[in-house]
Amino acid sequence: MTVIDHHDATAPIRLSIGGMSCAGCVANVEKALRAVPGVTAAAVNFAEHTALVQGSVAAAQLEQAVIDAGYQATELAGADAEAEKEAAELGHYHLLLRRALVAGAVGVPLFVGSLLGMLPVLSISSGRMFWAVIGVLTLVVMVYSGRQFFTGAYKSFFAHNANMDTLIAMGTGAAWLYSMVVVINPALVPSLAQHAYFEAAVIIIALINFGSALEMRARSHTSEAIKRLIGLQPKLARVVRNGEEVDVAIDDIGLDETVRVRPGERIAVDGVVLDGQANVDESMLTGEPIPVEKHAGSDVVGGTINITGTFLYQVSRIGKQTLLAQIVEMIRQAQSSKPAIGRMADRVSSVFVPVVMIVAVLTLLLWLHLWSDVSYGIVTMMTVLIIACPCALGLATPMSIMVGVGKAAEYGVLIRNGEALEQSGRLTTVVLDKTGTVTKGKPVVSQVFNFGEWTEQQVLRFAAAVEVGSEHPLAAAILMAYQRSFEGLHAGESVSGTDLPALQSFESTSGYGIHAHIEGHTVVLGNQRLMELHKIDCSAVEDLVPELADQACTPLLLAIDQGLAGIIAITDPIKEDSIAAIQRMYALGLKVVMITGDHRVTANAVAAQVGIKDVFAEVLPQHKVDCVTRLQQAGDVVAMVGDGINDAPALAGSDVGFAIGGGTDIAIHSADVTLMRDSLHGVVDALLISRATLTNIRQNLFGAFIYNAVGIPLAAGLFYPLLGVLLNPMFAGAAMAMSSLTVVTNANRLRLFKVPAYK
């Protein structure tokens, strides 16, 4: 098991550091901090003049250590990681813009001047002097605006790595060096090749900085889903302490504390309602637009909004344990995973830069041989280095995944990783578990038939008396029906056990039912076979029992003193939107299969009601996975949709396991896709978003491959003999800067994706 630990177990201490003047000071301060006993890690941010220290240590000790080292230190309270990240990104964005501006300010006038023929020529000494000064000036600009490319290239080189910086540094470096050679000693190159390319070097640097800045901006939008979710959690909550309600910072709320929520307020952390009633908008987490009613005993989730009513709740989960925090973490993990579709691009990008370097060298040699032109050879080599863009390849998949996973979260669909997203987009078959997936999973009494002298309520009363201690779902339905048979009883109230007659004897026969003695009566409650066993005449209901089964009801027969007293028909109601969602699945061309352990008659009845044509009935839970495997063997890409608890093996065995009505830890951690909303529409939404994301990835990959496949030969001058076209290295710089930006912008287009409206 892997743990990604951001040191949250013990909160890190942030210090503001004063007196640092150079990068050397960073090392001194870090050394001083790390020497303090208990410190496990210390990192100084020179740009912000702050230090982040991890370990079991007091802030005062750290401050003293920094002061002893000759600097000042003060503890900064309330670190907000996301705000810090944004501030750092904004700072870097401005730096990139400044670098672009400085390089552009020098490069553009030079470019315009040479275009208009206003600049001195190299053939005269005063001209060479002018260009020498320009050479020094552009060197200064390159050091300021392009330093990061050169240091990056240098460090990468000695780590046996090559990346985009390597290409830019080599391209612009070659341009500057060649120009300087021409300026200092023109005789070294043929007269026709005596050109200086200083302006190209700085304009390329300007363009790439500018492109990076824009790309950074566009990138920040791709993680908006996370920001939106993090923003859901309020900073304060009204906690009841010592009988008084006080505002407490969210990090200071403890488990089991009592919190008051008023209308319009956001719920701070997860808990269970103790007192009060309210309607809570959970749409931000589940995508379910209708507010959910909450009363004593209901679970409430941090980040959701209380629309009406006031209530008190007891805190059950805080910090990283809250559902919101788990969702955020899952999305983060999913956003950083890669599906198989991106592996090809990964393989290419890992060898891309050295290949481009080789192509650049060969281009130079080819030009020297074919046209004996050093200048053009240098220009084409430089253009090849500059135009090649490994970043577009590298970005193509992750950017779309970032946006796609975030988009799914907006619809209450949590996708575990890129692989799950990719498979969701390729599904051909959806297997739906019946109970709790197609149906509500909470059986209710749909009809009560009474015979002889017994009334409907008496039938329910005896049945309830027999079932009162049972945990069987049918028992709960009977008890609920008995409760409801009393007028004026509200939801949440219950009939106490004393209202029901006590059992004098009790005998349960598994698979059949119960035989008991109550108030001097012999009571038998169960299926028809149990009645036959007790020789109870059921001829009067011979037709009714199969009729009920055809309606997807489970008939429970009740006999009192050897005479049939009633039939209680129990059904598991179909979810309101199951039919519409299943129609959407068929409309998308999917094969829909229902799987259940129920009797074939009941299963077929439910399937008919929701419009499902294929049914696997009487399947034991442990055999559901075999059905999934059979479908897979037939060539289907299969999704299994279940509650994530009873059908875990089938979820795991399918190509994509969907846990419906999630929000439970088990579901979030086990399923490939967790549907926060208790609706099958989530399956369709997930599929549509996945398909859109895959299309977006394909567009990006196609664009990135085509860009490089066309750009590099064009830059190498391959089309020169045919068309007489040679690419200007500055255009190559612009194209390169724009290529990554295009990929990020295309991925951002996914943010606008909307699942088509449905009824």
Partner 1 sequence: MDGVMGIMLLVDILGLGIVIFIVWWFWFYKSRAAIQKSDAAPVEITVADNVYHPARLALPSGQPIVLRFIRRDPASCAAQVQFASLAISAELPLDQPVDIRLPSLAPGEYSFNCQMNMYHGTLVIT
520: exposed, middle or buried (Cβ count in 10 Å: 0-12, 13-18, 19+): exposed
Which residue lies nearer to partner 1 by CB, 33 or 516? 33
The distance of Cα 566 from the centroid of its chain, to the nearest Å, equals 53
DSSP tag of 302: T
Pairing of the two strands 638-642 and 429-433: parallel
Does 598 participate in catalysis according to the annotation?
no
Q: Is 693 in the site for partner 1 (CB under 8 A)?
A: no
From candidates 16, 28, 114, 161, binder to partner 1 by CB under 8 A: 161
CB of 215: closest distance to partner 1 in angstroms?
A: 8
Total residues at interface with partner 1 (CB under 8 A): 70
Q: Is there binding between residue 81 and partner 1 (CB under 8 A)?
A: yes
- Within residues 323-362, the interface with partner 1 by CB under 8 A covers 332-333, 336-338, 346, 349-351, 353-354, 357-358, 361-362
Q: Which helix (H) or strand (E) holds 548?
A: helix 544-550
C-beta separation of 62 from 41 below 8 A: no
Closer Cβ to partner 1, 395 or 475, answer by number: 395
Site string for partner 1, 189-228 (x = CB under 8 A): -----------------------x--xx--x---------
The closest of 32, 716, 613, 12 to 377, measured between CA atoms, is 716
CB nearer to partner 1: pick between 52 and 557: 52
- 88 versus 255: smaller Cβ distance to partner 1: 88
- Taking the complex as a whole, the smallest distance from the CB of residue 141 to partner 1 amounts, in Å, to 20
Distance CA 265, CA 233 (A): 11
In terms of Cα–Cα distance, which of 675, 220, 240, 691 is closest to 424? 691
Q: Are 66 and 73 in contact (CB under 8 A)?
A: yes
Decide if residue 167 touches partner 1 (CB under 8 A).
Answer: no
453 CB-near residues (< 8 Å, 6+ apart):
none
Q: Which of 585, 679, 573, 677 is nearest to 639 (CA)?
A: 585
Query: Is 88 an interacting residue with respect to partner 1 (CB under 8 A)?
Result: yes
In angstroms, rounded to a whole number, what is the distance separating the alpha carbons of residues 710 and 704? 10
Out of 165, 270, 281, 433, pick the active-site residue.
433
To partner 1, the closest distance from the beta carbon of 217 in angstroms equals: 10
Among 69, 391, 673, 747, the residue binding partner 1 under the rule CB under 8 A is 391
Q: Does 1 bind partner 1 (CB under 8 A)?
A: yes
Tokens of 298: 């209901």
**Integer Cα distance of 683 and 414 in angstroms:** 11
Site track 9-38 with partner 1 (rule: CB under 8 A), x = hit: ---x--------------------------
> In the set 13, 25, 54, 689, which binds partner 1 (CB under 8 A)?
54
CB of 364 to partner 1, least distance (A): 7
Q: Does 145 bind partner 1 (CB under 8 A)?
A: no
What's the closest the beta carbon of residue 393 comes to partner 1, in angstroms?
A: 8
Q: Which is nearer to partner 1, 345 or 569 (CB)?
A: 345
Q: Is 148 in the site for partner 1 (CB under 8 A)?
A: yes
Query: For tokens 């640092």, what's the residue?
Result: 20
DSSP 640-675: EEE-SSTTHHHHHHSSEEEESS--SHHHHHH-SEEE
Regarding 136 and contact with partner 1 (CB under 8 A), the answer is no
Query: Judged by CB, which is closer to partner 1: 392, or 607?
Result: 392
| Cβ 430 to partner 1 shortest distance, Å | 26
Using the rule CB under 8 A, is 698 a contact of partner 1? no
| Member of 16, 28, 61, 156 binding partner 1 (CB under 8 A) | 156
Instruction: Rule CB under 8 A: say whether 163 interacts with partner 1.
Output: yes
Tell me: does residue 430 bind partner 1 (CB under 8 A): no
Give kind and range of the element (H or E) at residue 332: helix 323-335
Three-state secondary structure string covering 719-755: CHHHHCCCCCHHHHHHHHHHHHHHHHHHHHHHHHCCC
> Does position 700 bind partner 1 by CB under 8 A?
no
DSSP assigned state of 120: P
The residues, ordered by sequence, that sit 6+ positions from 110 with a Cβ below 8 Å of its Cβ are: 119, 134, 138, 198, 199, 202
Decide: is 364 part of the binding site for partner 1 (CB under 8 A): yes
Q: Are 247 and 236 in contact (CB under 8 A)?
A: yes
Binding residues for partner 1, rule: CB under 8 A, are 1-7, 12, 40-41, 43-45, 48, 50, 52, 54, 81, 84-85, 88-89, 91-92, 95, 148, 151-157, 159-165, 212, 215-216, 219, 332-333, 336-338, 346, 349-351, 353-354, 357-358, 361-362, 364-365, 368-369, 390-391, 393-395, 398, 417
What positions carry a catalytic annotation? 433
